[in-house]
Amino acid sequence: MLSTVLKEARENHEQSQDSAKKYADLHRKESSYKVNDKVLVDTHALSKSKNSYTSKFAPRRDGPYQISKVVSPTTYQIVSPEDPTRDLGKYHVSALTPYKGDEDYPDPVRPLRKRGRPPLKTAPIVVPIEDEHDLETISPMSENVSEDIHSFKQPDDTVVPQPSRPRRGKHPPKCLCCYSD
């Protein structure tokens, strides 16, 4: 009794797997990349608000790159066309798009790097700049924004006050969401 139930459950499971495979294979296409084909690689950009970078406006694909080796039927190794000795990594066929463009296409937007830890960044060189323009705040921590007067000192010592906007919320005085446009 128990063995027949298990056998029946196994058969049902195999039938559902076969059915799922049949419908998945309808939408699947055979990869047709060969060595030395040019391809674009998906960038998978993520937004970084602290860098003021939004993925919505980032390029979806980067390249063109060149296929150097077929690792498996679904995995390809790519290199840069300018430096074929520099390996850029292995990519699944779903992350590649055939390149159909001009040979004078611009260089990649941001070069791909190998997986792993990013290279160490060097410290920026700080150059002191003497600026004649000075931003002064008369009352930086006032409760009412209308009392806040921000002025910009011109090089000829004339002061141009910036208009303040009325507050419409209960957030701190410097919160930008509480100002009406």
Examine the pLDDT at 136 and tell me if it is beyond 80: no
- pLDDT the model gives residue 44: 78
Q: For residue 169, what is the DSSP state? A: S
Average pLDDT over residues 63-92: 89
Identify the CA nearest to 61 among candidates 105, 27, 30, 103: 105
CB of 87 closer than 8 Å to CB of 67: no
Q: Which two tokens stand for residue 41?
A: 């690689």
Type of residue numbered 108: P
Q: Which two tokens stand for residue 148?
A: 């806040």
- Which pLDDT does position 173 carry in this prediction? 59
Measured CA to CA, the distance from residue 107 to residue 124 in angstroms comes to: 25
Give the pLDDT mean for 69-98.
Answer: 89
Phi and psi at residue 77, to the nearest 5°:
-100, 135
Domain 38-98 CATH class label: mainly beta
pLDDT attached to residue 177: 60
Asked if residue 64 has a cis previous peptide bond (ω within 30° of 0), the answer is: yes
Judge whether residue 110 has pLDDT over 80: no
Average pLDDT over residues 85-105: 83
pTM (two decimals): 0.47
Could you state, in order of their start, the residue ranges of all structural domains in the chain?
38-98, 134-178
Q: What type of residue sits at position 114?
A: K
